[in-house]
């Protein structure tokens, strides 16, 4: 059984249709990318997967659970990367991890997590004083502190320099190596090509293509995923 199964998902905000019948599956152990043009419905879909929004139609199963009906059970098994602005600037890195660890029945060891994410030397620093890359690592650490089976990472490397981006990619590969399935929402095609086993390309509320980055490139005879993305989303307009 797939870890995530979305079938014919539909969601509107008033008269604006945000998601028009989206279907895809994510297998256990994959890094699965959600790519798409602005306003394509990626965030809405991911929010429905987390049970934060109720779908208007279609079905969603995450870890065999219904995200709305089983939200409490799902929250314990899914780690979601927080946007940085949601953490108080004065909170220290270790305090943040210990606080989040206290929400879970079987949390990760905070010291092990600090080491794994290269945050040990920053453990006593307050969040507001960290660099963009360090903040990003804290947000990933918080997504992992509950030892989730699924980690949802959204716009992971936005605003990071090329070194910090590469370090973050290695981190994501390390997460997958521990058996965690990763759902990665990104606008960066190089990131998707490097990290994702498979991707779904969203455009105007629909999935216009699903496959491996290499398979999608070949399907439209493109030399990069970026070119394939432009071609696939343009032809869908």
Ligand X SMILES: Nc1ncnc2c1ncn2[C@@H]1O[C@H](COP(=O)(O)OP(=O)(O)OP(=O)(O)O)[C@@H](O)[C@H]1O
Is residue 33 part of the contact set for ligand X (CB under 6 A)? no
Phi, psi for 11 (deg, rounded to 5): -155, 130
Q: Nearer to ligand X by C-beta: 164 or 204?
A: 204
# residues near ligand X by CB under 6 A: 11
Is residue 39 part of the contact set for ligand X (CB under 6 A)? yes
Is residue 53 part of the contact set for ligand X (CB under 6 A)? no
Q: Nearer to ligand X by C-beta: 44 or 50?
A: 44
DSSP 172: H
Is residue 233 within 8 Å of residue 201, measured between CB atoms?
yes
Q: Nearer to ligand X by C-beta: 43 or 210?
A: 43
Judged by CB under 6 A, the stretch of 23-31, 41-49, 60-68, 124-132 that binds ligand X is 41-49
Which residue in 116, 161, 163 sits closest to 137, CA to CA? 116
Q: How far is the CB of 63 from ligand X (least distance, A)?
A: 22
Is residue 40 part of the contact set for ligand X (CB under 6 A)? yes
Q: Nearer to ligand X by C-beta: 114 or 216?
A: 216
| 213: CB partners within 8 A, 6+ apart | 192, 193, 196, 199, 225
As given in the structure block, the two tokens for residue 158 are 């936005």
Q: How far is the CB of 116 from ligand X (least distance, A)?
A: 29
The count of C-alpha atoms lying within 13 angstroms of the C-alpha of 228, restricted to the half-sphere facing its C-beta, is 28
Where in 104-163 is the site for ligand X (CB under 6 A)? none
For residue 210, the SS3 value is strand
Q: How far is the CB of 117 from ligand X (least distance, A)?
A: 26
Question: Which of 32, 44, 50, 137 is in the footprint of ligand X by CB under 6 A?
Answer: 44
What is the Cα–Cα distance from 64 to 62, expressed in whole angstroms?
5
Question: Which of 6, 9, 31, 42 is in the footprint of ligand X by CB under 6 A?
Answer: 42
- Residue 48 CB-density burial (10 A; 0-12 exposed, 13-18 middle, 19+ buried): buried
Is residue 36 part of the contact set for ligand X (CB under 6 A)? yes
User: x/- string (CB under 6 A) for ligand X, residues 3-32?
Assistant: ----------x--x-x--------------
Which of 183-199 are b and which e, b meaning 16 or more Cβ less than 10 Å from the residue's Cβ? bbbbebbebbbbbbebb
As given in the structure block, the two tokens for residue 156 are 């992971």
Q: How far is the CB of 205 from ligand X (least distance, A)?
A: 7
Question: Which of 22, 32, 35, 41 is in the footprint of ligand X by CB under 6 A?
Answer: 41
| Residues near ligand X, by CB under 6 A | 13, 16, 18, 36, 38-44
């Amino acid at each position: 059984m797939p870890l995530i199964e979305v079938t014919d998902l539909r969601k509107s905000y008033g008269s604006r249709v945000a998601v028009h019948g989206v279907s895809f599956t994510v297998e256990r152990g994959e890094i699965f990318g959600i790519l798409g043009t602005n306003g394509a419905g990626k965030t809405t879909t991911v929010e429905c997967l987390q049970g934060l929004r109720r779908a208007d139609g279609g079905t969603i199963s995450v870890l065999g659970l219904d995200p709305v009906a089983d939200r409490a059970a799902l929250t314990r098994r899914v780690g979601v990367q927080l946007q940085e602005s949601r953490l108080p600037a004065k909170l220290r890195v270790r305090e943040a991890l210990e606080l989040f660890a206290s929400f879970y029945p079987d949390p990760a060891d905070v010291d092990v997590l600090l080491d794994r994410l290269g945050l040990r030397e920053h453990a006593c620093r307050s969040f507001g004083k960290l660099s963009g890359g360090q903040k990003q690592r804290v947000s990933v650490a918080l997504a992992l502190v509950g030892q989730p089976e699924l980690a949802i990472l959204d716009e992971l490397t936005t605003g990071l320099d090329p070194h910090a981006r590469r370090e973050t990619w290695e981190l994501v590969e390390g997460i997958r190596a521990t058996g965690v399935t990763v759902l990665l929402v990104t606008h960066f095609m190089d990131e998707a090509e490097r990290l994702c086993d498979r991707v779904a390309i969203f455009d105007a509320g629909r999935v216009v293509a699903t496959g491996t980055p290499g398979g999608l490139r070949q399907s439209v005879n493109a030399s990069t995923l970026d070119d394939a993305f432009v071609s696939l989303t343009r032809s869908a307009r």
